[in-house]
Amino acid sequence: MFGEITIEIMLLMMLYAVGATMAAVACLYLVFRRGNAFTRRISTPKRLRQWTAAFFGIVALGHLWYLPGTMMADGDAAALWMLIGALLDCMLTMPLALVVMLCMLQDRKRPLWIAWLITAPLIILSAVSVGMRSYALLPWIQGYFMLMAVGFTIYMVREVRRYGRWLRDNYADLEHKEVWQSLLVLAVIMLLFCYYVVGYGSITYEFIIQLCGIALVAYLLWRVETLQDLSFQPMADGDIALAEAQRAAAEAAAEADDDALDGYGDALEGDGGRPQPAEGLSETVIQEIGKLLHDRCEGNKLYLQTDLTSVQLAQALGTNRTYLGMYFSSQGTTYNAYINTLRINYFIELCRQASAAAVGQSIQAKQLANRSGYRSYRTFSVAFKQRTGQSVKDWIAEQESALQSNKE
């Protein structure tokens, strides 16, 4: 493709080598590294790691199968080799990129065969182009690709929004579960693929593709290794013991209501614990769940447990995640909003106690946030501002000012 070896060609070959090496190393890292070198306390999704490793492996191989074409002086042979490379991209690179984006959404296991289904026309058109040894079908390839990109982007935006609602319904702490980064990955990959399809033909194009590819590998590796595995797991033995102790204490304190609670439990068992969403919850069940939350979550401060999930809370209540989610929907809120409201209120109570006990001393917000159930101060700060409309710093300054005024 490039008949004469120039400085630009040498630099491009260096970028090829760097890109191929980075992709290969990232692939081997995800396959063989058991721990997480980026964030040790994060357990990443196994399914996502495996598919991302496959994507990185194909990216590394892609550098190899395109390399001979870039070095050929014979224009016809180089063109044929590039067509073969494009066919391999349509068969492997593009579908795997779509699969990685689907695997980032952990609310359910979406079918992955759809990635090959929507790229099938591209594969067919590319295979015909190889057989014809011609770029005559390139406009059709470009047109279908743009249509595919728009359709998949619309689908992913809808699914990411659904994923965000699922997170708020099931997790109190959204750290390492960010939705916006899934949209960023989608935007970067789609833009890169669009440029790949329509911008071919110059050495500047080759430089841009290689630089973007290197950046994508680095960012995607970081994103995969900092995304928390959200598959629901049974409570650990210690958590079960704690939940049982809290349940026993709550039942002892509310012995007069045992009959009602037993009836509620029987209703759950009778329908398999999975009511029909269209029917909703009866007023009696709503009242019982509200009472259980008051006794076993609020009364025993279960919300202070870091990374408490809706599954764990439902187990502590003696119900299930479906009923609990329907209860919060009936109250016009989400699990995330409920837990964070309790934690913020507890933080405010701790701050006022600290202010009264140590007049004139600054409140240690980070320590109190940790005691309120937050592992990350950044997550706490966002939740605090959402609930109060003020930053933590401004709210504490206002409280200290008011306390000083009352003292004077």
55 pLDDT above the threshold of 50: yes
Which amino acid is residue 287, in one-letter code? Q
* CB distance 197 to 142 below 8 Å: yes
Nearest CA to 316 among 248, 250, 247? 247
pLDDT at 340 over 90: yes
3-state secondary structure the chain: CCCCCCHHHHHHHHHHHHHHHHHHHHHHHHHHCCCCCCCCCCCCCHHHHHHHHHHHHHHHHHHHHHHHHHHCCCHHHHHHHHHHHHHHHHHHHHHHHHHHHHHCCCCCCCCCHHHHHHHHHHHHHHHHHHHHCCCCCHHHHHHHHHHHHHHHHHHHHHHHHHHHHHHHHHECCCCCCCCHHHHHHHHHHHHHHHHHHHCCCCHHHHHHHHHHHHHHHHHHHHHHHCCCCCCCCCCCHHHHHHHHHHHHHHHHHCHHHHHHHHHHHHHHHHCCCCCCCCCCCCHHHHHHHHHHHHHHHHCCCHHHCCCCEHHHHHHHHCCCHHHHHHHHHHCCCCHHHHHHHHHHHHHHHHHHHHHHHCCCCCCCHHHHHHHCCCCCHHHHHHHHHHHHCCCHHHHHHHHHHHHHHHHC
Q: What pLDDT does residue 40 have?
A: 73
pLDDT on residue 201: 63
- Specify the residue for token string 């439990």: 265
**Single pTM value for the model:** 0.77
Instruction: Band the pLDDT of 406: cuts 50, 70, 90.
Output: low
Average pLDDT across the chain, whole number: 81
**Amino acid (one-letter) located at 377:** Y
pLDDT digits (tens, 9 = 90+) for 146-181: 899 889 989 998 999 999 989 888 988 887 787 788
Closest C-alpha among 78, 68, 84, 76 to residue 130: 84
- The answer to whether 226 and 39 have CB atoms below 8 angstroms apart is yes
Crossing angle (nearest 10°) for helices 180-198 and 94-103: 170
Banded pLDDT at 183 (limits 50, 70, 90): confident
Backbone angles phi, psi at 119, to 5 degrees: -95, -5
Amino acid identity at 42:
I
Residues 274-280, mean pLDDT to the nearest whole number? 45
pLDDT of residue 274: 40
Given a contact cutoff of 8 angstroms between Cβ atoms, the answer to whether 181 and 223 are in contact is: yes
pLDDT of residue 173: 83
Given pLDDT bands bounded at 50, 70 and 90, which one contains residue 124? Answer: very high
> In this predicted model, which residue has the larger pLDDT, 191 or 4?
191
Quick check: 374 and 174 in contact, CB under 8 A?
Answer: no
Q: Which residue has the higher pLDDT, 363 or 135?
A: 135
- Of 324 and 275, the structure prediction assigns the larger pLDDT to 324
Residue 261 has pLDDT above 80, yes or no: no
260 pLDDT band, cuts 50/70/90, is: very low
- The whole-angstrom separation of Cα 162 and Cα 172 is 17
Q: What are phi and psi of 309, to 5 degrees?
A: -105, 165
Non-local CB neighbours of 25 within 8 Å, separated by 6+ positions: none
Find, among 293, 303, 306, 302, the residue nearest to 379 by Cα: 306
| Cα(162)–Cα(156) distance, integer angstroms | 10
Taking only the tens place, the pLDDT of each residue in 11-40 is 878 888 899 999 999 999 999 987 777 777
Of 260 and 28, more confident:
28
